[in-house]
Amino acid sequence: MLKPNIEKILNEQIEKEGYSSNLYLAMGTWAEANGLPGVAQWLYAQSEEERMHMLKFIGYIAERGGHAIIPAFKKPPVEYADIYKLFDEVLKHEQYITESINDIVGLTLDEKDFSTNNWIQWFVTEQIEEEASVSGIIDKLNLMGKGNNNLYMFDRDIMSLRSIDSSGQ
Ligand code: FEO
């Protein structure tokens, strides 16, 4: 059985992963509406990954005899100033998620819940990969400068940058 505070923090993470999924979906629709179909595809794939993350938490809570609660999700932003700001937001969000995963790791150690500590390690690794993947995209965006031609090429090629985080599928 899970201790109540472990069950609580895992349920809170369901909300965060589900919100992440909706956030990337919303970003994807913005990209599509702004002539960036490749970026939209990348964000939709990312949204799917986040949904898988949410399902992993739901599955684990159930497996350990807890009750996974499906929460309401707040509405993600609709508008983004530009593609550069959008990816800055993605990175900031992933850093926030990394902190929340670290908080779970910390609590499992405090509570000597070594089963959950072992289980959550997958997410520790996943967050390293996700942050690296997004940082790589931001580096490429900065390198190419702000011309429309460059953005066209970036949009065409962005899906080829996904191999790095395929473990999240
Ligand atoms: Fe599920 Fe991108 O963290």
Q: Is the distance from the beta carbon of residue 165 to the nearest atom of ligand 1 less than 6 Å?
A: no
What CATH number is associated with residue 64? 1.20.1260.10
What pLDDT does 80 receive? 95
- Are 83 and 29 in contact, with CB atoms under 8 Å apart? no
Q: Which residues contact 22 (CB under 8 A, 6 or more apart)?
A: 47, 73, 76
What pLDDT does 148 receive? 75
What pLDDT does 163 receive? 54
Could you tell me the mean pLDDT of each successive run of 10 residues in the chain, 169 residues long? 97 98 98 97 98 98 97 96 96 98 98 98 97 95 83 89 53
Instruction: Please report the atom of ligand 1 found closest to the CA of residue 98.
Output: 3
What pLDDT does 160 receive? 84
Q: How many CB atoms lie within 10 A of CB 85?
A: 10
Q: Is the distance from the beta carbon of residue 53 to the nearest atom of ligand 1 less than 6 Å?
A: yes
Provide the token pair at 36.
Answer: 């960036």
Instruction: Please report the atom of ligand 1 found closest to the CA of residue 93.
Output: 2
Per-residue buried b or exposed e for 24-48, using 16+ beta carbons within 10 Å of the residue's own CB: bbbbbebbeeeebebbbbbbbbbbe
Element (H, E) at 44: helix 37-63
- Are 151 and 83 in contact, with CB atoms under 8 Å apart? yes
Domain span at residue 16 reads 4-167
* Domain tally, the chain: 1
What pLDDT does 150 receive? 86
Rounded distance from Cα 127 to ligand 1 centre (Å):
7
Q: Is the distance from the beta carbon of residue 97 to the nearest atom of ligand 1 less than 6 Å?
A: yes
